[in-house]
Structure 1
Amino acid sequence: MGGTTAMKTLHDLHRPLGSTGLSVSPLGLGTVKLGRDQGVKYPNGFSIPDDFTAGQLLQLARELGINLLDTAPAYGRSEERLGPLLRGQRQDWVIVSKVGEEFDNGLSHFDFSAAHTRRSVERSLQRLETDYLDLLLVHSDGNDLAVLEHSEVYPTLAALKAEGKIRAFGFSGKTVDGGLLALQDGDCAMVTYNLNEQAERPVLDYAAAHRKGILIKKALASGHACLAPGQDPVRASFELIFAHPGVSSAIVGTINPLHLAHNVATAATVIEALGHS
């Protein structure tokens, strides 16, 4: 019955983010579309929603049992918009932001120095109107091993964690070697894993074996997944992702309330089926 699936939520399906002590919904809401519409790889154009519409989307996410929000300095105005939109709700959300990538005038540039890392985190705290971030990820430029081995970003994040400004830290990279190295000293990796791209699966395997957190980016292949006729690409994507025991949560970036509710209902159905199989 269509009426029953519409009511499916993720409230009872939260799971640990590795051994961080954080409990996260199996879907997280990505907020790039709240702040940036330049240089984003989506098949369809979109308009950045106004504050009222964005607030309604966040309220719907909460009602559907989502508690994980993914933002970044490189997402344009996303962080500074979320601050006021989340006033009075801090305890309801697990907030993930990033460091390393800056986006100005349509172009990205990267800085992994200790000074920039500290400045960036302080700025994120100000914009988000909070005194701590639940998780901070390094936004890699693709040279994952160089960033981890030859920059100051990871030791700086470890210090910020010790100071209580971040609760956990990790790495959003592009390579298996980067993901594996990042998990040795970090708490979490954000990994591309979808119907089209599964090269980083060894990072998920490592995380499952070592109780580390995994967030999946591009879970729905940014809307590009191709399947046999009649197959639901969202369901097929989630069946792949949630079958892996290393996965903590998958980030979906929709600003369409119907898509969000469908994603949640589908994820809940898939996770419940996996739990009973």
Structure 2
Amino acid sequence: MHTLHNLHRPLGSTELLVSPLGLGTVKLGRDQGVKYPSGFRIPDDAEARRLLAQAHELGINLIDTAPAYGTSEARLGPLLRGQREQWVIVSKSGEEFENGQSRFDFSPAHTRRSVERSLKRLETDFIDLLLVHSDGNDVAILQDSGIYETLAELKREGKIRAFGLSGKTVEGGLLALQQGDCAMVTYNLNEQGELPVLDYAEQHGKGILVKKALASGHACLQPGEDPVQASFELIFGHPAVNSAIIGTIDPQHLAHNVATAAAVIQDIA
């Protein structure tokens, strides 16, 4: 059985070692306003616990969550009790999701409150990677809001170990990497516009996480091609990519994704 246990790699120049696939947890906490091709039911605690145990067995150590993912952080805290050292936890600040609507606040005061709240919800003393959850105005956020300066302070205080941007533009990604540790970019068979951010990260030893790796389930291919394999061949073909976030709650999908990623990465090596 292919697993990811022997394929962990450094996240850029940070001291974090991450599995090439990370588990995205929006579906553990939110089923409104999410763009997936088919509906789904939020798993109960027993199902969520089994999913996390399966991910761990398959060699996944990276968990991606956010305040905007509904109850995701608050559920993960109790679900991960006693397992903190097994996981690299990524969370975010900037986007809040309330009453079916997103709102954004990138101010230093909100950022600090948000991180303190995430620490409480996740029942941890530190978050491994804290990303700015951008609304798309990446450059303005990084230059004008003070959020990056606040994250640098929180890093010095030991509350976060690394920080960066989950953005939507090339300019934002490049700026995020100049001053931070990591960028989370969209990179898949349909969308490769943020490729310059990956190239910059490779040259400067910065971290790259890929979101929408499988194009949120809308991959477009030739008949007979495995969309997961084709996606991973593209993504892991770029040496800057440290990990791709997969947001599945289906145990079979998770196992297939891991087996395919492991095979692709070993072929590339």
What TM-score range do you get, normalising by the shorter chain?
A: over 0.9
**Residue in structure 1 matched with residue 266 of structure 2 by the alignment:** 272
Report the counterpart of residue 12 of structure 2 in structure 1. 18
Structure 1 Cα separation of the partners of residues 175 and 226 of structure 2: 35
The residue that corresponds to 2:139 in the other structure is 145
CA distance in 2, matches of 1:190, 1:230: 30
2:93 to 99, 120, 130: 99
Counterpart in 2 of 1:58?
Answer: 52
**Partner residue, 1:135:** 129
Matched, 1:262 2:267: no
Aligned pairs, number: 269
* CA-CA distance at 1:267 after TM superposition: 0.1
Residue ranges of structure 1 left out of the alignment (5+ in a row) = 1-6
Give the alignment partner of residue 113 of structure 2, picking from 95, 99, 119: 119
Q: Residue 121 of structure 1 aligns to a residue in which SS?
A: helix
- Report SS of the residue matched to 2:229: helix
Find the aligned partners of 1:62 and 1:208 in 2 and give their Cα distance.
28
Counterpart check, 1:179 vs 2:176: no
Whole-angstrom CA distance in 1 between matches of 2:12 and 2:53: 26
Write out per-residue CA displacement over residues 150-205 of structure 1, whole angstroms, 9 at most, x where no aligned residue: 10100000000000000000000000000000000000000000000000000000
AA matched with 1:23: L
CA offsets, 1:59-113, max 9 Å, x none?
A: 0000000000000000000000000000000000000000000000000000000
The percent identity for this pair of structures is: 78
The residue that corresponds to 1:39 in the other structure is 33
Regions of 4+ moved over 4 Å: none
Corresponding position of 1:4: none
Q: Does 1:87 align with 2:42?
A: no
Where does the alignment leave 5 or more consecutive residues of structure 2 unmatched? none
Normalised by the length of structure 1, the TM-score is: 0.97
How much is the aligned-residue C-alpha RMSD, in angstroms?
0.3
- State the distance in 2 between where 1:259 and 1:269 align: 15
Shift of 1:141: 0.6
**1:226 matched to which residue of 2?**
220
Is 1:67 aligned to residue 49 of structure 2? Answer: no
| Residues 131-210 of structure 1 aligned to structure 2 (within 5 Å) | 131-210=125-204
Amino acid at match of 1:17: L
Q: Secondary structure at 2:15's aligned position in 1?
A: coil
CA shift at 1:33, angstroms? 0.1
Which secondary structure does the structure 2 equivalent of 1:230 belong to?
coil
- Deviations 1:232-258, CA, capped at 9 Å, x for gaps: 000000000000011000000000000
Q: For residues 138-159 of structure 1, give each alpha carbon's deviation from its aligned partner in whole angstroms, at most 9, with x where no partner exists.
A: 0001001100111010000000
Match in the other structure for 1:3: none
TM-score normalized by the length of structure 2: 1.00
The DSSP-based 3-state class of the residue aligned with 1:81 is helix
